[in-house]
Amino acid sequence: MECLDALKGQSYPLDGIYIIDNASTDGTPKLLLEKGYISELPPQSLKEPWEKEFSITNDQKVDIKIHYVRMNENTGGSGGFYEGIKRAYERKYDWIWVMDDDTIPNSEALYNLLKFKDIDNVGLLCSHVTWIDGTPHMMNIPSVRSCILDGKVHPFNERIDSGLLGISSCSFVSSLISSKSVQSVGFPIKEMFIYADDVEFTERISKKFLCYYVFNSKVTHKTKQNLGTDIMKVSSDKLEYYFFDIRNNIYIARKKGFLRFLRFLIYSWTLNYLVKAIKRKDSKVKAVIICIKGFFAGIFFYPKIEKGGLRK
């Protein structure tokens, strides 16, 4: 609710909010009903996703559409972002602001992103993400990098005086994505399920459009701990999720060519995953098996990228 309330309280009012309820079992629909974000509960039994449009009024007396989507099964974070971006794109929203449900944007976050929406050939703008203590969130640090578009070099710091840095990828935590970039590169890969889907998708955008980190757009990511995706720093009951982290990152490395793929295997898979798994104090065998399964799954992972195409 804190995330939704923060979106409702933006100084620049949103036109609509997509809530992707990924087959939750924690009473989310009833809470949304109690808080006035929806006025009708979804059917208890679903064979396909259920979408209903509602409306709320913010403090500025501006109506905001609420698109509530109840999924019939848990499709993971990747499936959730795929559904939200695709549905918003097909509804002809020009800019799509995506985030996790534990992301709390300050009241000026969207306004400070939209200041730069008219830069020529800009496809994505992302926020400065901190943890609850104000330190940078380790899971949401963008990859700052210069880029080459149409033969022209754009140094990563060419707009630093405006509070912008050029990036090649970022997380889905507070990223503002243009519909023209979705039309060009397609949607996120829902089959990734969780981890690295945001990196893969935003890298696709940065190959065709300028992408920037916007320092003055600030959000807080309220995770339990300020950690990246390190298989050695998670509890044993969460280890199975890191199969997707390994598989998906191997797929991304494969796309970048043989030398980049080889470097990933040597430094990232062998040293960061496999060796650390062997050195774990607990669940050592389980961690090693996950590393090996993730490796082979990544070699044979060939997901289909669904194109954006013309909007209805």
- Model confidence pLDDT, tens digit, residues 77-110: 999 999 999 999 999 999 999 999 999 999 999 9
Full DSSP string of 94-142? SEEEE--TTEEE-TTHHHHHHTTTTSTTEEEEEEEEE-TTSSBPTT---
45 contacts 70 by C-beta, under 8 angstroms: no
Cβ atoms within 10 Å of 148's Cβ, excluding its own: 9
> Residue 7: pLDDT band by 50, 70, 90 thresholds?
very high
> Residue 231: pLDDT band by 50, 70, 90 thresholds?
low
Q: Show Cβ contacts of residue 160 under 8 Å, excluding neighbours closer than 6 positions.
A: none
Q: Lowest-pLDDT range, 51-55, 141-145, 222-226, 298-302?
A: 222-226
CATH class of 2-221: alpha beta
Average pLDDT of span 22-45: 94
Average pLDDT of span 105-123: 97
Give me the chain's average pLDDT, please. Answer: 92
Exposure string for 52-82, b = 16+ CB within 10 A, e = fewer:
eebebeeeeeeebebbbbbbeeebbbbbbbb
Give the pLDDT of residue 242: 84
Average pLDDT of span 47-69: 94
> Residue 229: pLDDT band by 50, 70, 90 thresholds?
low
Q: Lowest-pLDDT range, 147-156, 178-187, 277-286?
A: 277-286
Residue 76 has pLDDT above 80, yes or no: yes
Enumerate the domain spans of the chain.
2-221, 231-299
Give pTM, 2 decimals.
0.93
Give the pLDDT of residue 113: 98
Residue 158 has pLDDT above 60, yes or no: yes
Alpha-carbon span 295 to 245, nearest angstrom: 10
